[in-house]
Chain A
Amino acid sequence: MSAMLLIEQALNGLQLGVMLFLMAAGLTLVFGVMGLINLAHGSLYMVGAFACAVVAAHTGSYLLGLAAALAAAAAAGALVEIVVIRRLYDRDHLDQVLATFALILVFSEGTRYLFGSLPLYLNVPAALSGPVMLPGGIAYPAFRLAIIAIGLAVALGLFWLIARTRLGIRIRAGESDRQMIAALGVDIRRLYTIVFALGAALAGLAGALVGTLQSVEVGMGEPVLILAFVVIVIGGIGSIKGALVGAILVGVTDTMGRFLLPQIFATFMDPSRATGVGSALASMLIYILMAVVLILRPQGLFGARA
């Protein structure tokens, strides 16, 4: 097994990690500021992917497609927030879960109605379709490198937003005391819509980027949503830093696990059995990681102690 392959897989893990971060950041932000758990976050991911596919195909410009992904997801998010979500802030978590689960059904069937069940394909933009030569002689796909770069840039942007801007201050204040900032004259309703739309835009961006790598189809956001939940549990609810650390941890563990475990088992089992057992165990790895974190630190790595 070569070091090159290992590094390639590690980079893939990093790429998965930053995409998970985009999902998890939106989720944890919404939970931290509004106290709301949103299962329909995966649907916003899907909306972004579809918007990108449609606009990119129509205009021939991937960049326009990405812009459309951000806009469409943010718009969908804002619409959903105004029509449904804002009735749920005072409700218990069960109601929030059920209502957002209902939204998933509506979004999924609606999308299937508009686009059918067959996947759409997004083409990697020509400029990024080749490999990039990394130090050490590794040829890594340019697009994946771009995803990592975009993801890290967004992370930095988010940290800057939270730490340095007026909006960020309101977000941080809102996380600690909702009633207080309302009393201080901050327009809570607008703040909440903006935060929700921001989270949605991040999800939509992730959907478009990953949709380019894989495919764009109904329900694509759900496995990612669940991974994002695992990330948040590990990182701690309400913590963006936790989301980043958790996401990279999960991304790398999952990718390296799937790569290494079958090989490890192959050293003492016959190859066909090794692949079976190895992949089965690899698929459980991040959940085992989550369980371990839960036992040692139930509030997550960076979460507030209850």
Chain B
Amino acid sequence: MTRERIVNAFLWLALLVVPLAAAQMGQPYIVSLATKVVILALAATGLNLALGLGGMVSFGHAAFFGVGGYAAGILMNHATTGAALPFGLSGTNQMIALWLAALVASGLAALVIGALSLRTSGVYFIMITLAFAQMFYYFAISWPAYGGEDGLSLFVRSQFLGVNTFDPLNFFLICFALLSLALLLSATLARSRFGIALQATRQNPQRVEALGIRPYRLRLTAFVISGMITGLAGALYADLNRFVSPAMLDWHLSGEIIVFVILGGMGRLMGPIAGAALFIVMEHKLGGISEYWKALLGLLLLGVVLFARGGIIGLLAGKLRHV
């Protein structure tokens, strides 16, 4: 059992056990907080695929988070109001349908943004992904039908088979299951031919071309999968808060998702969980002490970037080894 596997198992279990215990002790607030950690970790897991494995510095992943959220939110809104949607579709409150919608919508967005952005690299790529995400943001603010700047309130929690999804612990378990599936997918992909080729492309694109592989197709595929996972997280987030707003598309959120990945450890399987958990704990604890806690987050981030590049998992489990 390598050190990393032990750390990973511990993190996964802790994330499961803490809210279970909190629920037993009648602390539903902790359960909601844990749910938030899980959802943000899922968003970061998506990004980790593009960024950690593929080396694509996407500063626009909030676009997929928001598109997923709005896809689910709009469907739920239409289910409540009964208004019809184009193409003869109708609204729905069923979680599985909402997730599918979020996956498809964010996948399409990632396909379009990725197809254009991946024709560039380096700094251009960073700026372009940021700009495209802002495009979605400004569009959401000015499109009047779904609340614009004020956002859209969803007055229900969506339904999953026969389960009482209003119960915070049940909702948490559903989200946790999805996160676990995403982590499993991440780990499988990383070891697959596709994942190896993607990591090779990150290290040395010229070498990869000399071996008969076209980087563009690889990267675009990874980017789309990455966007879909983050989009699913967005749908869950909308469901958790019963609210969708353009803030889900804001570039600050894109930055924060990158921060989760970096704080936790870029390219590490459980990095997103560690990073998201640290962020939420800081927000909760430090935010209680001072409303200027984000300055401290900034200093921490600076410290990590300059001195502890491997993030939390790097500190706990050492450098990432491929062998």
Contact = CB atoms under 8 A, between A and B. Distances in A.
A134 interface: no
B200 to A, nearest CB: 17
B253 to A, nearest CB: 12
Contacts of B120: 294, 298
Nearest to B298: A105
Contacts of A295: 116, 119
A290 B131 contact: yes
Interface of A is mostly: helix
Contacts of A95: 305, 309
Contact of A97 (B59, B119, B293): B59
Interface residues of A, number: 43
Interface in A119-164: none
Nearest to B132: A287
Contacts of A190: none
Interface string B95-137: 0000000000000000000001101111110111011101100
A94 B138 contact: no
B130 A94 contact: no
A99 interface: yes
Given A101-B301, A276-B142, A276-B144, A109 B295 contact: yes
Contacts of B130: 226, 229
Interface string B259-301: 1001000000000000000000000000000001111011101
A109 B286 CA distance: 14
B258 A105 contact: no
Contact of B301 (A98, A233, A284, A287): A98
A232 interface: yes
Contacts of A237: 123-124
B84 interface: no
Nearest to A84: B302
B197 interface: no
A98 B299 contact: no
A165 interface: no
Given A280-B143, A284-B138, A226 B131 contact: yes
A102 B116 contact: no
Contact of B135 (A91, A112, A284): A284
Contacts of A110: 292, 295
Contact of A283 (B122, B142, B294): B142
A305 to B, nearest CB: 12
B298 A102 contact: yes
Given A97-B59, A109-B298, A283-B139, 5 more contacts: A95-B305, A98-B301, A226-B130, A226-B134, A283-B135
What are the nearest 3 A-B pairs in CB distance?
A105-B298, A109-B295, A287-B135
20 contacts: A37-B127, A84-B306, A93-B126, A94-B51, A95-B309, A99-B301, A99-B302, A102-B297, A104-B298, A106-B302, A109-B292, A226-B130, A226-B131, A233-B124, A237-B123, A237-B124, A279-B142, A280-B143, A284-B139, A298-B124
Interface of B: 51, 57, 59, 116-117, 119-124, 126-128, 130-132, 134-135, 138-139, 141-145, 251, 255, 258-259, 262, 292-295, 297-299, 301-302, 305-306, 309
